[in-house]
Amino acid sequence: MITKTGAFRDTECTCECGNKHELYGGIGYRTVRCDAHSDRNGGGYYIHVVRCKQCDALSEFVDK
């Protein structure tokens, strides 16, 4: 089950549990899934699913 926690959206990739990306002193997270979706005009977006290494929460977010 994917919980859309809103984690990892800020520049330090902060999770709700306080964990951050390794670059910012946290223990980071693992990418569970990364799906690319293209539109037909050369654009598109990515859907990332990441799992926090600290609290094990799954978070889904979209990159454009």
CB of 17 to Zn ion, least distance (A): 3
Is residue 5 a contact point for Zn ion (CB under 5 A)?
no
Name the residue nearer to Zn ion (CB basis): 25 or 43: 25
Distance CA 29, CA 12 (A): 12
Residue linked to tokens 């990159």:
63
Nearest to 59 by CA among 36, 33, 35, 40: 33
CB of 6 to Zn ion, least distance (A): 12
Q: Which residues bind Zn ion (CB under 5 A)?
A: 15, 17, 19, 52, 54-55, 57
